[in-house]
């Protein structure tokens, strides 16, 4: 079984829980997810099966879209609703829509984030959440992330109350922490803040309408129709130039040989070689031999 299964991860489960359950449902060990979603988050989680596990990183690196609820007035240790409150300002607030949209504009484009302590980012070989659970504060590396667009979704002109909440839609690149973004929005508005809830509405080319729940996947597997929802691994390679391989190159590519650069290979891209429309290899520029390219991924069993 090979392909990408667009899964709708429900609340209460980790991404690893989904993989564990799918291995049992599908009867295969070659199952991998494409980007961790916290247990309190629901949404699109593409699952790679069989040969498609080799392209998981391409799906992980693709753009994501989220709908989040930002809560202004309290900050938590985890930057979301699950953590203990560490700061609060429950004074009466009046925040204009224009003020929020100005803050969102300042956080659009390439921005800098510091990963939250309760995250899977590694420092000195250990996950940050491991330090956090022991009460150890460590210096966290700053990282640049790309925010393509942020939209304020609620049709409200004036937000009032001790604790103000509003919904935003965020289209972003890999490595973005939406809960950290919520904190940053609060900082620009002058208040402590956290992310009250989060839904991932798309991952790469997959949207909510493409997805199935674990129960739906189980039902399809039981009646022998699971293949009807599997997407080809070629989906994950759609951003790369694709070339149907010639007969004289077929054996060389299948053996993973170093080849002369193809004309379709650009400076910062990989190229996909296909046979009868099926991807058999991804090649990229050779790092030390100018004018040559080498295999990055091979899919000999992609049928």
Q: Tokens 């937000």 — which residue?
A: 159
Give the residue numbers annotated as catalytic, written as ranges: 38
pTM assigned to the model: 0.88
pLDDT-flagged residues of the chain (< 70): 117, 119-121, 124, 267-268, 303
Q: Check whether residue 77 and residue 172 sit in a common domain.
A: yes
3-state secondary structure of 189: helix
Q: Check whether residue 224 and residue 251 sit in a common domain.
A: no
CATH code of residue 252: 2.30.130.10
Q: Check whether residue 86 and residue 162 sit in a common domain.
A: yes
Q: How far is CA 214 from CA 26, 170, 218, in A?
A: 11, 26, 6
- Residue 111: strand pairing partners: 145
Q: What DSSP state is assigned to residue 235?
A: G
Number of independent structural domains in the chain:
3
Integer-rounded Cα radius of gyration of the chain = 22
Predicted pLDDT at 264:
80
**Cβ-Cβ contacts under 8 Å for 94 (sequence gap 6 or more):** 158, 159, 160
Q: Which helix (H) or strand (E) holds 179?
A: helix 178-189
Predicted pLDDT at 117:
67
Predicted pLDDT at 113:
94
Q: Is 303 a member of any domain? A: no
Q: Check whether residue 136 and residue 258 sit in a common domain.
A: no
Q: Check whether residue 196 and residue 73 sit in a common domain.
A: yes
Going 171 to 176 to 181 to 184, the CA torsion angle's sign is negative
What are the backbone dihedrals phi and psi of residue 137, each rounded to the nearest 5 degrees, phi first?
Answer: -95, 125
What is the Cα–Cα distance from 261 to 32, expressed in whole angstroms? Answer: 32
- Domain with 173, as residue range(s), is 65-200
Q: Where are the alpha helices (DSSP H) in 10-136?
A: 15-26, 56-61, 97-106, 128-133
Predicted pLDDT at 151:
98
CATH code of residue 221: 3.30.2350.10
Q: Which helix (H) or strand (E) holds 216?
A: helix 214-222
Q: Is 275 a member of any domain? A: yes
What is the Cα–Cα distance from 204 to 188, expressed in whole angstroms? Answer: 30
pLDDT digits (tens, 9 = 90+) for 75-105: 999 999 998 999 999 999 999 999 999 999 9
Give Cα 88 distance to the centre of its chain.
30
Q: Select from 68, 192, 168, 177 the least CA-distant residue to 114.
A: 177
Q: Check whether residue 188 and residue 215 sit in a common domain.
A: no
Predicted pLDDT at 138:
77
Q: Check whether residue 72 and residue 151 sit in a common domain.
A: yes
Q: Check whether residue 178 and residue 92 sit in a common domain.
A: yes
Q: Check whether residue 96 and residue 110 sit in a common domain.
A: yes
Q: Check whether residue 69 and residue 196 sit in a common domain.
A: yes
Q: Is 34 a member of any domain? A: yes
3-state secondary structure of 14: coil
């Amino acid at each position: 079984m090979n392909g990408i299964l667009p899964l709708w991860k429900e609340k209460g489960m980790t991404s690893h829980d989904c993989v564990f359950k799918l291995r049992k449902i599908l009867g295969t060990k070659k199952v991998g997810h494409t980007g961790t979603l916290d247990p309190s988050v629901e949404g699109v989680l593409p699952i790679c099966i069989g040969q498609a596990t080799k392209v998981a990183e391409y799906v992980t690196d693709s753009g994501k879209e989220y709908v989040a609820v930002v809560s202004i007035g309290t900050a938590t240790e985890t930057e979301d609703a699950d953590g203990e409150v560490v700061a609060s300002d429950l004074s009466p607030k009046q925040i204009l829509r224009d003020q929020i949209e100005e803050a969102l504009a300042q956080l659009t484009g390439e921005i800098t984030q510091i990963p939250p302590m309760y995250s899977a980012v590694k420092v000195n070989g250990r996950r940050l959440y491991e330090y956090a659970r022991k009460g150890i504060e460590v210096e966290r590396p700053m990282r640049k992330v790309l925010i393509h667009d942020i939209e304020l979704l609620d049709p409200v002109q004036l937000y009032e109350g001790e604790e103000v909440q509003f919904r935003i839609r965020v289209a972003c690149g890999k490595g973005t922490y939406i809960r950290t973004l919520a904190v940053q929005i609060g900082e620009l508005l002058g208040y402590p803040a956290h992310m009250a809830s989060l839904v991932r509405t798309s991952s790469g080319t997959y949207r909510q309408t493409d997805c199935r729940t674990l129960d739906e996947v189980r039902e399809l597997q039981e009646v022998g129709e699971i293949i009807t929802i599997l997407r080809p691994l070629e989906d994950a390679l759609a951003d790369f130039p694709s070339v149907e391989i010639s007969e004289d190159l077929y054996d060389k590519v299948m053996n993973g040989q170093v080849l002369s650069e193809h004309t379709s290979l650009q400076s910062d891209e990989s190229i996909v070689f296909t046979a009868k429309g099926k991807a058999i290899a991804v090649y990229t520029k050779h790092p030390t031999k100018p004018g040559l390219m080498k295999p990055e991924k091979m899919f000999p069993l992609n049928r």
